[in-house]
């Protein structure tokens, strides 16, 4: 059996880690993904995907990367965003962040549900998220 932490780490890729062409990917327990927009560009070979991500209380999204830029805005809740080589950022309503392509990062949700609006500008046809080991 998988522990909740390991399952969540694998599950985040299913939650937001769909291959860019597969909008019907299964969403795991604890995370709900709603794609609000998907368009080609801004340059050939890339697409921009906008997503509302609802995260249940105390869920941990383990370390992962994206094949492009992730820009987000916290709508509700409180969580901790860890990004390799950066201080932990506390996300609360009104907070925003940008993560560079292929940069390992993780999210630990607080005691209340969190809602995030995330824009990914990523290489088309690649998995949106790939799990990685925690940085040392």
43 burial type by CB count under 10 A (0-12 exposed, 13-18 middle, 19+ buried) = exposed
In the chain (136 residues long), the average pLDDT of successive 10-residue segments reads 41 42 50 96 97 97 96 98 97 98 97 98 94 93
**In a domain? residue 80:** yes
Alpha-carbon Rg of the chain, whole angstroms?
14
Q: How much is the pLDDT for 17?
A: 44
**In a domain? residue 136:** no
Q: What CATH number is associated with residue 70?
A: 2.60.120.10
Give the total number of structural domains in the chain.
1
Q: How much is the pLDDT for 136?
A: 84
**In a domain? residue 35:** yes
- Its pTM stands at 0.79
Q: How much is the pLDDT for 12?
A: 41
**In a domain? residue 12:** yes
Q: Which domain holds residue 83?
A: 4-131
| Of the candidates 92, 93, 47, the residue with the CA atom closest to the CA atom of residue 66 | 47
């Amino acid at each position: 059996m998988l522990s909740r932490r390991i399952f969540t780490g694998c599950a985040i890729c299913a939650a937001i880690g769909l291959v860019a062409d597969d909008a019907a990917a299964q969403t795991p327990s604890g995370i709900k993904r709603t794609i609000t927009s998907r368009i080609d560009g801004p340059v050939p070979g890339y697409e921009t995907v906008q997503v509302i991500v609802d995260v249940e209380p105390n869920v941990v999204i383990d370390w992962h990367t994206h094949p492009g830029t992730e820009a987000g805005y916290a709508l509700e809740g409180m969580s901790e965003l860890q990004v390799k080589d950066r201080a932990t950022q506390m996300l609360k309503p009104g907070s925003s962040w940008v993560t560079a392509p292929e940069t390992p990062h993780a999210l630990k949700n607080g005691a209340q549900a969190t809602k995030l609006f995330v824009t990914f500008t990523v290489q088309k046809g690649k998995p949106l998220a790939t799990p990685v080991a925690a940085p040392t």
